[in-house]
């Protein structure tokens, strides 16, 4: 059974940085190599939105709001993906979810991601 677990959230002052980690278990390395990994976030009272995705071919995608500030990466041997978040703003405050799929990357199609973590809270103070 595939499991996804996020870590690394916390409280940070505006302008600061955080790195979120996402570890996947229950897959062989050959399978994980073919998976896309994505980060989504949901702020209070708002719908969940896609933030970033890294494909099996290491192609990377970002929503406009985080381009130039966030960096997604992955290390297949560790079954792990990261989201490096710099220059954080109060509007980045949200629950951040990691998701995995054996389909292509899409930060606009969360229905393509069958495996989700429980989320990690990021709070940015002004």
For 58, the token pair is 């290491």
Specify whether the CB–CB gap between 37 and 79 falls below 8 A. Answer: no
Length of the chain: 126
b/e code 3-20 from CB counts within 10 Å (16+ = b): ebebebbeebeeeeebeb
pLDDT tens for each residue of the chain, 126 residues long = 999 999 999 999 999 999 999 999 999 988 999 999 999 999 999 999 999 999 999 999 999 999 999 999 999 999 999 999 999 999 999 999 999 999 999 999 999 999 999 999 999 999
pLDDT recorded at residue 113: 97
**Vertex 98: Cα angle to 85 and 20 (nearest 5):** 30
* Measured CA distances, 86 to 3, 38, 66, 70, 113 (Å): 27, 18, 9, 6, 26
């Amino acid at each position: 059974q595939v499991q996804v677990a996020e870590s690394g959230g916390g409280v940070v002052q505006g302008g600061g940085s955080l790195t979120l980690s996402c570890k996947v278990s229950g897959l062989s390395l050959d399978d994980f190599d073919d998976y896309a990994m994505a980060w989504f976030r949901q702020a209070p009272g708002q719908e969940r939105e896609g933030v970033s995705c890294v494909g099996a071919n290491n192609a990377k995608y970002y929503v406009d709001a985080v381009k130039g500030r966030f960096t997604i990466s992955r290390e297949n041997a560790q079954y792990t993906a990261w989201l490096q978040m710099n220059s954080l703003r109060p509007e980045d405050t949200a629950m951040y979810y990691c998701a995995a799929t054996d389909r292509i990357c899409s930060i606009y199609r969360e229905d393509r991601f069958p495996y989700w973590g429980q989320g990690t809270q990021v709070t940015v103070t002004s």
